[in-house]
């Protein structure tokens, strides 16, 4: 008997610079995602930070908005 694995297509990948998979902020994002969508998000460690891989366009759009917001906050100097 041959076992087959279901393979999902990866829609997109985002890398959050300076974050790790154990970062409390990233863990909070994952918990929020799971509670809202129940979807699966894959994590891996990239060269500059944690990489998040998506199999749904809607998930990618939501996390892209979060990524843009985080990048914008880094560019704005703290007063």
Task: Over range 65-75, report the average pLDDT.
Answer: 79
The pLDDT tens digits for 46-58 are 888 899 888 888 7
E strand or H helix that includes residue 5: none
CA within 13 Å, CB half, 16: 22
* CB of 16 closer than 8 Å to CB of 52: yes
pLDDT class of 29 with cuts at 50, 70, 90: confident
Task: Over range 22-40, report the average pLDDT.
Answer: 82
CB within 8 Å of 30: residues ≥ 6 apart: 41, 43
């Amino acid at each position: 008997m041959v076992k087959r694995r279901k393979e999902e297509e990866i829609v997109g990948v985002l890398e959050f610079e300076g974050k790790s998979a154990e970062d409390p902020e990233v863990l909070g994002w994952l918990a929020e995602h799971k509670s809202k969508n129940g979807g699966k998000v894959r994590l891996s460690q990239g060269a500059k930070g944690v990489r998040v891989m998506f199999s749904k366009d809607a998930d990618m759009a939501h996390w892209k908005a979060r990524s843009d917001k985080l990048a914008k906050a880094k560019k704005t100097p703290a007063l």
